[in-house]
Amino acid sequence: MIIQPRIYLASQSPRRRELLKQIGINFEVLLLRSDPRRDIDVDETPHTGEVPEEYVQRVCQAKAGAGYAALKLRNLPSFPVLAADTAVVLDGKIFGKPGNAEQAAAMLRQLSGCEHQVLGAVAVALGEHVETALSTSTVRFAALDEERIHRYLLTHEYTDKAGGYGIQGHAGAFIEHLSGSYSGVMGLPLFETAQLLRHFDHPAP
């Protein structure tokens, strides 16, 4: 039986699955939850003095490496493991995923009426070979009053999203201007993803 070329996606994000399907990449989701050692090598705490660009690529690379280690642990067929990470950055400060509605509201108030950067990192691991790429986009938010923020929080779209918003949902109406990669802001920069996969001799558009 011929095994079709594919990759493993070390992420449970439905947005990243949707984006990979968009460009015709054959993939399987690699679930790390069942691996008790999955978090040992993935430190998502920013290091002292670490700039956002270094941070997001370090975390992304660690996720890809942990994914490949899990792959070998389970004796699964050896194909590239892809991981991605997104950081929202305002004035050098990294905005992670809000833990609750109050934290999401605080982030949205700070982003209101301002330009911020969205760093989208992608990493691919196969054996000892690991490569990363970074997409940087600039997003300008409209001014948001408290009523608008409150209505957005009622959608619960802020859950599991860096900076407390997703461009593909209701928050798309907050964005006055975007310079960069729409897919990168969404969670997986497709140009950089296709480039990396070609480096691993994987068919990509």
CATH of the domain at 73: 3.90.950.10
Q: For residues 59 and 45, what is the distance between their CA atoms, to the nearest angstrom?
A: 9
- Write out pLDDT tens, residues 24-74: 999 999 976 544 444 435 778 888 889 999 999 999 999 999 999 999 888
* 190: its two tokens: 């497709």
In a domain, 165, yes or no: yes
Other CB atoms within a 10 A radius of the CB of residue 74 amount to 10
Q: Is 145 a catalytic residue?
A: no
In a domain, 205, yes or no: no
Amino acid 42: pLDDT: 73
DSSP single-letter state for residue 45: S
Amino acid 3: pLDDT: 63
* 88: its two tokens: 């929202």
**163 near 111, Cβ under 8 Å?**
yes
Q: Which of 39, 41, 85, 160 is catalytic?
A: 85
Task: Write out the residue range of the structural domain in which residue 99 sits.
Answer: 7-199
CA-closest candidate to residue 121, choices 145, 85, 155, 146: 85
In a domain, 53, yes or no: yes
Instruction: Mark the ranges of the chain whose per-residue pLDDT is less than 70.
Output: 1-3, 32-41
Which positions ≥6 away from 122 have C-beta within 8 Å?
60, 82, 83, 84, 132, 133, 135, 188, 189, 192, 193, 196
In a domain, 2, yes or no: no
In a domain, 132, yes or no: yes
In a domain, 36, yes or no: yes
Give residue 170's region: left, alpha or beta (phi > 0; psi -120 to 50).
alpha
In a domain, 1, yes or no: no
Which positions ≥6 away from 131 have C-beta within 8 Å?
123, 124, 196, 199, 200
Count how many domains the chain has: 1
Amino acid 41: pLDDT: 53
